[in-house]
Structure 1
Amino acid sequence: MHPSLALLTWLTDPWTEALTRRALLEVVLLGIAGGALGGWVVSFNLGYSAESLAHALLPGLVGASLLGAPLLLGGAAGLLVAAVAVAVAGRIPGLDRDTAVAVVVTALFGLGALLALSPDTPAGLQGLLFGDVLGVSDTDLALAGGLVVVLVGALTVLHPRLLVIGLDRLSAPALGVRTLTMDVTVLVLLAVTLLVAVQGLGNLLVVAVLIAPPSAARLLTRRMAPMLVVSSAIAVVGAVAGLYLSYYAGTAAGASIAAVLVGTYLVLAAGTAAAAALTRARTRPTPEPAGAPA
């Protein structure tokens, strides 16, 4: 077989089945959404919140099941309550953001664990929490597409206010920007993103898409707008590369995507550190030989 034809076959083989094509579209959509929102998550130091809010799904899902309500509605209610509770708890004097997140999420997760002792707990709960990127449905794709439209629109409208807080949180109120309102808004957007993404991708991939791409993008540029674009590009390319890795290496799709995204950040971080060290070594003044004339 001609090398060019072999390469073309290698590139197209993973997408010959409908389930892999749906997975590809899902990760592209969520890569765009997660990369864009992740820039603000990292800028606002909400990485721990992103990981923790995913666990807030549990009480909402179990409660909805026990009440006979749709699981998506229960998960949404649990996440929204957690997002607002975290933002409000973070305003308590003497209680930092990480502690507020830990208190709220631990309480919610404990409540969910108690509710899960009921024999009526849904059998598919574990799958909803951990997801399956190769098992996404047309409904999941529709939700992901809607998420991208809503999220990109909201972030575009809110960009100036978010930028003020990102640059100088303490001076934001004097400029007419309410930090609590923006914190709640970002956390609610984060909650909605988690709710949509975990349907097919699970906690592992959601956190990787939200944290690794913007962290890598911040190593390449410090300007917010370019960073959001680069973050989304890294998320999309990394997610597609992860699907290739999963297909040819036979590894789990979600874990493969997360590994590629985190690996991209580590490579860029190492490269940036090496370049900085080389620059310092080149600009360091050369000491004069001992005994040289003054």
Structure 2
Amino acid sequence: MTSPLWIIILTYNSSREIVQCLRAIERLADVSVLVIDNCSSDNTRDVLHMLSNEGLIDRLILRESNAGFAKAINEAIAATPNNSDVLLLNPDATLDCGSLEILRTTARELDDAGILSPLVYSGDSVKTTTAGRQPFIFPMLAHFTGLSRLCRRTPWFKGRYLYLDGALNPFERVEWVAGACMYIKRETIERIGVLSERWFMYAEDTEYCWRAHTHGLSIVMLTSIGCFHAMGQSVKRSRSDDINVMWPRSLTDYYKSTFKPNRITFKVWQTVFSLGLLSRSIVFLIRGRRARNDELLYEARRFAKFAGAVWAYSDV
């Protein structure tokens, strides 16, 4: 028998995305939905009340402050029954039809799996899925130099992110999956606890997967089912530079604090990461100027800021 499941969705200024997300969730037996709002400043809470009245939300938690991703998610997990699995789902993510039941069934069948995920995709322009290898130097180098793309059918060259058109197995055992759509078995929570609250957001999903791995649990991506993720809509609307560069800062701190590299190794890692981000910025800049495309020019500026943020790192 499959375990009861609580789907946890964290919202923050998510009124544009949350309706589609909730309406796409299949209403299966023993599946409940908990939405926790991180003190939105737009009309998200009005929308949530409307959806709750429609029966699409089983429990609604409205926080009075924005404590970041992990703290709010941990609060929500604590509010779920202690015999249920949980599925973390972003408000800008939409599960494909049939994916939810397959996730639940596979979670019961794969005894060694502690964390599962469908294949997460983000449209035709994004060629990778949000899963792959931990951010060691070689996976990062393979990704940013294009080796993982050129040799995407060779397992040894798999990089930080896996390519959608690579040689993927039906049950792809990976080193991390994104918190945008992460199925966590209750046994995993009992063994390793909840998310780290070291970071306001980003890196906590990668760290949680690493912790599961070190406790002998597998992280599995099911490539036969999917979830569309619009990727970071609330972040892109933010005017805060701190929020906009939080991803590279958090990942840098995660690598340094978790793996404790020596000084030279850490500088090599920073160089690989920052130059990789800068190369992306240059590509967006060239394409944006040729096409006179403001969106591409925006991405060029964003990735340039990312590259600088890697070097602005300081211990948290």
TM-score bin, normalised by smaller chain? under 0.3
> Which protein is richer in helix relative to its size?
1
Q: Which structure: greater strand fraction?
A: 2
TM-score (norm 1): 0.26
TM-score normalized by the length of structure 2: 0.24
Q: Which structure has the greater CA radius of gyration? A: 1
